């Protein structure tokens, strides 16, 4: 038997609700934190046996904001709010409130979990552009290509001159 399965929770909650002992004493007897026992009791009183079942939920920003607005409007504590909305993680409402006060509704949007991808997905190769013969190209296209090629040649000449100057400086330094 798992330590905190539904049957165990139900047994502990029902024994506590009989009123024989305090929450701390009951929690100590079963090796459970007393605040967890109080959450179980509140959830059981609000939702019945379904409140003690395991639940894995992801909440969107609109739901989180509606929970916060209800809590503020009704003047509920975080624990009471988690019981009313059947939120299993007791710290969620407090976290949502801090996030909302620090960053507004945008801060309440769930973030993706796990490690971010380090590499972007591969881009499919583009088919090579069809080369248009020179006699079919317009005068403007040909002049643009000539200007581009002249700039490329000038850049390469300048780069070659810089490399030669650097080599000459190193030879001069060696002597």
Q: 35-62 pLDDT, tens per residue?
A: 777 777 777 777 776 666 666 677 888 8
34 in a domain, yes or no? yes
> The domain containing residue 27 runs over which residues?
1-54
* pTM across the whole model: 0.46
Contact 86, 51 (CB under 8 A): yes
Which residues, 6 or more positions from 71, have their beta carbon under 8 angstroms from its beta carbon? 78, 80, 81, 93, 97
Contact 125, 73 (CB under 8 A): no
Name the pLDDT band for 1 (thresholds 50, 70, 90).
Answer: very low
CA torsion through residues 104, 106, 112, 117, sign: negative
Name the pLDDT band for 152 (thresholds 50, 70, 90).
Answer: very high
94 in a domain, yes or no? no
Q: How far is CA 143 from the centre of its chain?
A: 52
> Tens digit of pLDDT for each residue in 81-102?
888 887 877 788 899 999 999 9
12 in a domain, yes or no? yes
């Amino acid at each position: 038997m798992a330590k905190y399965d539904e049957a165990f929770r139900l047994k502990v909650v029902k024994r506590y609700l009989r009123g024989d002992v305090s929450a701390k004493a009951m929690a100590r007897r079963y090796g459970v934190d007393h605040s967890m026992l109080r959450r179980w009791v509140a959830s059981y009183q609000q939702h019945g046996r379904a409140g003690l079942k395991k639940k894995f939920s992801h909440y969107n920003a609109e739901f989180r904001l509606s929970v916060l607005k209800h809590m503020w409007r009704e003047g509920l504590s975080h624990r009471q709010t988690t019981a009313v909305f059947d939120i299993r993680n007791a710290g969620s409402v407090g976290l949502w409130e801090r996030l909302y006060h620090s960053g507004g509704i945008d801060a309440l949007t769930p973030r993706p979990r796990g490690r971010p991808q380090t590499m972007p997905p591969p881009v499919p190769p583009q088919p090579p552009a069809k080369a248009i013969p020179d006699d079919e190209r317009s005068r403007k296209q040909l002049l643009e290509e000539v200007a581009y090629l002249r700039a490329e040649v000038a850049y390469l000449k300048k780069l070659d001159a810089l490399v030669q100057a650097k080599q000459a400086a190193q030879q001069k330094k060696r002597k």
